[in-house]
Structure 1
């Protein structure tokens, strides 16, 4: 039902080489391998905190609920908010395809959103 979905977050953040990014944060290879499994059975709270800090996200962002499992939950159950839409290509791959004038618009929007987030 509930699973650790770090690959989705890394892709959304435009991080294409997950292992190198996590190594740069100081995670050991065995921890990275365990973390990248489909559904690790335990997550260290310090690891979770370090990931949230590095990725500027919340613990909820790092977890998802399978659509099939959510179907058995009551209609207004809070875990239904963790059902994620189908993952698309990382934004960095989409940006490469944009013409330069569109990239300027994207940059303006990102700058505006960054200012709002401070």
Structure 2
């Protein structure tokens, strides 16, 4: 496990307009077990389905722009 001090983490998040939860990924240790409902599991990044990635990569640029616009409206 790599460590980062809180001051650096805060600066990074300020610079990149994100939160620590956006950049952290929790992977449970094989040596320790925690319950399935433990709060740390909210930091586990979900794998994106390869089919979805392939569909997005095959889209023409105008369709990608439409998706981008929809996502911006959701912010």
> TM range, normalised to the smaller chain?
0.5 to 0.7
Structure 1: which 4+ aligned runs deviate by more than 6 Å?
none
Please say if 1:106 is aligned against 2:73. Answer: no
Gaps of 5+ in 2: none
The one of 5, 9, 13 aligned to 1:48: 9
Q: How many residues align?
A: 70
Displacement of 1:87 in angstroms is: 6.1
Partner residue, 1:85: 46
TM-score (norm 1): 0.44
Displacement of 1:79 in angstroms is: 0.8
Gaps of 5+ in 1: 1-38
Taking the TM superposition and a 5 Å limit, the aligned residue runs for 1:26-65 are: 39-40=1-2, 42-65=3-26
* Larger strand percent: 1
Structure with higher Rg: it is: 2
Ranked by relative contact order (alpha carbons within 8 Å, sequence separation 6 or more), the top structure is 1
Superposed CA RMSD in Å reads 3.0
